[in-house]
Amino acid sequence: MVLSMLILNVYIHVKPEHLEAFQVATIENARHSRLESGVLRFDFVQQTDDATRFMLQEVYRDADAQASHRETAHYHAWAEKVADMLAEPRTRQAYTPVYPPEADW
């Protein structure tokens, strides 16, 4: 079976003095992202033992949906707004679902 879904875990380390502003900006981006037709999930979580570390888990219907997301005005506004808030460049890992099967998402 060829899987088309794309799951991205984006890891973000924020400067402590920007925690509140980063959260506000990222929640705004997440709200808009969840409205995109190709976005199945867009979760924003904070690490329990280090409040300066966050993860976005983004689930896209396919790679084209992820590419479309990166062209949206809200993504560009977020990336520009948070650029100086980051303690280091964000990193990401891409995954495909194993279980549940795509039909169950």
CATH code for position 13: 3.30.70.100
In a domain, 104, yes or no: no
| SS3 assignment for 22-80 | HHHHHHHHHHHHCCCCCEEEEEEEECCCCCCEEEEEEEECCHHHHHHHCCCHHHHHHHH
Q: Is residue 57, in this structure, part of any structural domain at all? A: yes
How far are the Cα atoms of 23, 77, 98 from residue 70, in angstroms, in the given order?
19, 11, 25
* 21 pLDDT more than 70: yes
Q: What's the pTM?
A: 0.92
Q: What is the pLDDT of residue 104?
A: 85
Q: How many domains does the structure of the chain reveal?
A: 1
Interval 45-102: pLDDT, tens:
999 999 999 999 999 999 999 999 999 999 999 999 999 999 999 999 999 998 988 8
Residue 24 counted as domain residue: yes
102 inside domain: no
Give residue 101's pLDDT.
85
Range of the domain at 77: 6-93
Rounded CA separation 40/43 (Å): 10
